[in-house]
Structure 1
Amino acid sequence: MAADISIDPQVTGGVPCVAGTRIPVATVIGLLGQGMSIEQSSLGLGRYRWCCVGRGC
């Protein structure tokens, strides 16, 4: 599994999330599928930055 996706039964019931957040991967995929860019979809991520995906920031 990619390091930027986490699955933890104690966090969101085991739903795959963006690592370090409680944002479901399905939500991100849905936003991208609607035509949003990664930058647009990450506006509500707070301290998490897309540049950190795969880098462990």
Structure 2
Amino acid sequence: EITIEFKEMNAQIPDFEDESFDIITGSRVIHHLPDIELFFKECRRLLKQKGYIVFNIA
């Protein structure tokens, strides 16, 4: 059984524990972020040690 939970929050200060995800994905969102460096710092915190970040910007 697969469980999916949707949450709405600030992408730059997400409310998740460290190393919560195997992959973080997004499409056409980076240009909307006021602080891209902070966003990717949080992505690194949230990813498991061998996790992936996959983003589409076009």
- The TM-score, its normalising length taken from structure 1, stands at 0.28
Structure with bigger gyration radius: 2
Bigger proportion of residues as strand? 2
Q: Which structure shows the higher helix fraction? A: 1
TM-score, length-scaled by structure 2 = 0.27
Taking CA–CA contacts closer than 8 Å with sequence separation of 6 or more, which of the two structures ends up with the larger relative contact order? 2
